[in-house]
Amino acid sequence: MSGDPIRPGAAEGCDGNAAPYVLGALTDAEHEAFLLHMGSCAVCREEVASLQSVVAALPAAAPRLKAPRELKRKLMAEVAEDARRQDAAERAAASPRASQRRWRVSFRPVFAAPLAAGLAAIVVLAIALSGGGGSAPAKVIRAEVTAPGASAYVTVSDEHANLTVSKFPPTRIGQVYEVWVKRAGNPEPTDALFDVTSRGEATVEVPGSVRGVRDVLVTAEPDGGVSVPTSTPTIVAHLE
């Protein structure tokens, strides 16, 4: 995942987490980090969108089969064995002698690829934070949300913004989430309408330039959107 070598052909800074993200195979930390990354990476957003359509079609394409009891027994035995090995490895790692051994073998060639991938990620992050490449560094703003356990970020770069949400409840039937921008006066509607995946996730581009925009807001509105908000914002991101 985030420690794996960068995919051949992937954009610089992309770490190959699109597929594990769609399959729900990332850790919580990797999941949050990838959500932030997608906010400023069109390549990963497009890859996630294409993979989600494939994953959504898989259940319908595969026939339902009942797994043999022997297969279940073997699977559970392997899970138990993996847990035993992990427990033994953690106990061994806690001993002083094991710690000394780790220092002696930690730089064997087998670790070269993950180490290189980690160093590449650090270099990319350093370039982004320093404003390298001739463009202003992206600014990530954590939004205020009303949904319990949910989170939302707005990534602003070169006067353009992307909204990324996680663990949000789906809208009611006949409703959709609508993105608004607020400058000096009342919130202005945009044509950015979206719903979330089964995991409560979505990434949406805020239309147009956000120059002069003070807040980005999201409300739940009737399908097709409205010109004036009819509900209290569930997301408020203060850009200024």
Assign 164 a pLDDT band (cuts: 50, 70, 90): very high
Rounded mean pLDDT, 93-109: 47
Q: Do 85 and 184 belong to one domain? A: no
What is the band of 59 on the pLDDT scale with cuts at 50, 70, 90? low
Final residue in a domain of this structure, among 135, 150, 185: 135
The range of the structural domain enclosing residue 210 comes to 139-238
Question: Which CATH number is 223's domain given?
Answer: 2.60.40
pLDDT bin (cut points 50, 70, 90) of residue 124 is very low
Q: Residue 80: is its pLDDT beyond 80?
A: no
**pLDDT > 50? residue 83:** yes
Residue 234 CA to residue 171 CA, distance in Å, equals 11
The residue among 150 and 36 whose pLDDT is bigger is 150
Q: What is the mean pLDDT of the chain?
A: 74
Decide if pLDDT at 215 tops 90.
yes
Predicted structure pTM score: 0.49
Structural domain count, the chain? 3
Rounded to whole angstroms, the Cα distance separating 143 from 212 reads 18
Specify whether 184 is located in the same domain as 215: yes
Residue 171: CB partners within 8 Å, gap ≥ 6? Answer: 177, 195, 196, 220
Structure tokens at 87: 């427990």
Distance CA 52, CA 65 (A): 23
CB 175 within 8 A of CB 157: no
